[in-house]
Structure 1
Amino acid sequence: YRYTVDFRKVTNMSDSDLHLDSVPLVALNMSVRKKLGLYLNPKNAVASDWMAVAERMDFSYLEIKNFEGSRNPTLMVLEDWQARNTDATVGRLLSILMEVDRKDIVVDLRPLIDEDVRKYLDSLKKKAEPPLQVPEVDSCVPRNPALTLDDDPEAPEMFDAFICYCQSDFKFVHEMIRELEQTEYKLKLCVFDRDVLPGSCVWTITSELIEKRCKRMVVVISDEYLDSDACDFQTKFALSLCPGARSKRLIPVVYKPMTKPFPSILRFLTVCDYTRPCTQAWFWVRLAKALSLPK
């Protein structure tokens, strides 16, 4: 998730006084999140549990009742809060724990949290450091390397939408191409297996395309999607570019019935549902209109 961190503030502070209000919640690794669940998941007559934390995060009663059915409600609450709220920082989480009288959690987990924050900030610093190159070498490298079949280094190929899908759903992606590219809508879709040149790092290419080359991203949701590491990365990366879905950048699509729960990280977005016979006639029109909106 993308946030601006003032490194001067962070690096000038002592180990016990990190500027955590500037650090996004994504800095916390899974091990810390699971430990939070061990403290907050059990219902306790004396100490506050995950429900009290969710209320402080402004989740509604119905949302909290839905979280209750999860095996790890604390983890679900953290993921949803992180996806929808730009104020979801490590510092704010610690403040909430103090507000609900769970100082014991803060004391026990603070060393692990500080370590995660330090690793996160170090990774940001490394990304921000420019490569050591002399001007002569730099001038020989194209500023816009070709990523797709029709790319031009002087004018990178742009798309209306990046299609996030797993291989088992490729038949539906073909139908999407016919309905959106080869009809009056004339939209331009980025389909990885069709448009991307082979030979480069998958994560690097998809990040570049989603962030800089595509106005929006269509996520084809299915049971198989939930098991795909590539789809998980693409979805979370796109969400990080538009916290709270303010720019309507992500459009979830369901085209067949599912046996697994809908991904909680997308639950707050409006879904384009192809499984309802009564609305199928409007499905492609709604999707095309959403993709045609100005960025």
Structure 2
Amino acid sequence: MASKLSVDYEATPITALNCSFRKKLGLYLNPTNPVAADWRTVAEMMDFTYLEIKNFENREYPFEKVLKEWETRPEATVENLLSILKKAERKDVISDLKDMIDDDCRKYLERQQRKPVQVPVVDSCGPRTQEREVITLYDDPQGLTPETFDAFICYCKSDFQFVHEMIKELEQTKYNLKLCVFDRDVLPGTCVWTIASELIEKRCKRMVVVISDDYLDSDACDFQTKFALSLCPGTHSKRLIPVVYKTMEKPFPSILRFLTICDYTRPSTQVWFWIRLAAKALSLP
């Protein structure tokens, strides 16, 4: 019989825990408990504000909503959840649900280690150029030296005028940064989702997210942002840099609220805007 995979709580994001576990955990924490910590205490230890917790109180299953919000943060790992429950003195919850946690973590690890099936080549063609090796205008046609960038720019089409301004300020000045602008740099005919993930993960040091009302309605921007956040669970890296360049009518995306924003909407800070973005954020090693 094959041995079970060892569980690494720190390397396992909270998204690995399935719905059955979340509902079970909610059964322990949702009811108001006069002698033990309930969901409010745990939410506070997860750094939710007083107003956020008051709003969660209006939800039917408040802790499930808390967990759904918390899982978007870089520190949302199984290890940190267990640590919070220990500090809240809810070791009874950990003891009762440990088997479910371990089972979900092992299933997550198995999915991560599972390799795709390789389809054998059935013709006699010579060596081929891989799709992920030649994807931008600057890549070597032989796929030997893939181009890299300082930042991937996540934006929707309606915000391209500001992106064009960003290109002038960051590429054509003393900062001399190299930006990956999808509509400008990516070769046509490639799979949008596959190439975007390849660029964000392996070709670009960081990602600048141009936030606007239209950004919130863009499926491509939503995918790119969530993919970039998923690359470093449990860390506090400065991989994503949100930029707001005009006043918004819709709420700022909650998935990015824990990141410091570069705000171009305030005249008092515009004089430092490009310096902060270029010299202090994108130029970091």
- TM-score relative to the length of structure 1: 0.73
Give the residue type in structure 2 aligned to 1:150: Y
2:129 aligned residue: 142
* 2:222 counterpart (226, 229, 232): 232
Q: CA–CA distance in 1 between the matches of 2:223 and 2:124?
A: 33
Deviation at 1:274, TM superposition (A): 0.7
Deviation at 1:180, TM superposition (A): 1.8
CA deviations 1:33-82 (Å, max 9, x no partner) are 5775676456555664322223454x3xxx33142254466434554466
SS of the residue corresponding to residue 176 of structure 2 reads: coil
Q: CA–CA distance in 1 between the matches of 2:98 and 2:55?
A: 23
Contact map agreement 1:162 1:189 (CA 8 A) in 2 = yes
1:12 aligned residue: 3
Aligned CA-pair RMSD = 3.8
1:125 aligned residue: 113
Q: CA–CA distance in 2 between the matches of 1:42 and 1:166?
A: 43
Q: CA–CA distance in 1 between the matches of 2:107 and 2:52?
A: 30
Deviation at 1:220, TM superposition (A): 1.1
Query: Structure 1, unaligned stretches of length 5 or more?
Result: 1-10
* 1:28 counterpart (13, 17, 26): 17
Say whether residues 1:253 and 2:238 are aligned partners. no
1:65 aligned residue: 50
Identity %: 59
Which has the higher mean CA deviation after the structures are superposed, 157-166 or 33-42?
33-42
Query: Structure 2, unaligned stretches of length 5 or more?
Result: none
2:200 aligned residue: 210
Deviation at 1:138, TM superposition (A): 11
**Number of positions where the alignment pairs a residue of Structure 1 with one of Structure 2:** 274
Say whether residues 1:53 and 2:53 are aligned partners. no
Give the residue type in structure 2 aligned to 1:249: R
Q: CA–CA distance in 1 between the matches of 2:52 and 2:125?
A: 51
1:275 aligned residue: 265
CA gap of 1:283–1:234, structure 2 versus 1, over 3 A, is: same
Q: CA–CA distance in 2 between the matches of 1:29 and 1:203?
A: 25
Say whether residues 1:290 and 2:280 are aligned partners. yes
SS of the residue corresponding to residue 210 of structure 2 reads: strand
SS of the residue corresponding to residue 197 of structure 1 reads: coil
Deviation at 1:271, TM superposition (A): 1.0
Which structure 2 residues correspond to residues 81-96 of structure 1 after superposition, within 5 A? 83-85=73-75, 88-89=77-78, 93=81, 96=84
Q: CA–CA distance in 1 between the matches of 2:223 and 2:268?
A: 33
Of Structure 1 and Structure 2, the greater helix share is in 1
- TM-score relative to the length of structure 2: 0.75
Contact map agreement 1:70 1:76 (CA 8 A) in 2 = no
Deviation at 1:210, TM superposition (A): 0.8
Which has the higher mean CA deviation after the structures are superposed, 73-82 or 202-211?
73-82
Which structure 2 residues correspond to residues 178-217 of structure 1 after superposition, within 5 A? 178-217=168-207
Deviation at 1:190, TM superposition (A): 0.9
Contact map agreement 1:160 1:291 (CA 8 A) in 2 = no
SS of the residue corresponding to residue 84 of structure 1 reads: coil
Q: CA–CA distance in 2 between the matches of 1:246 and 1:94?
A: 19
Contact map agreement 1:225 1:231 (CA 8 A) in 2 = yes
Contact map agreement 1:36 1:105 (CA 8 A) in 2 = no
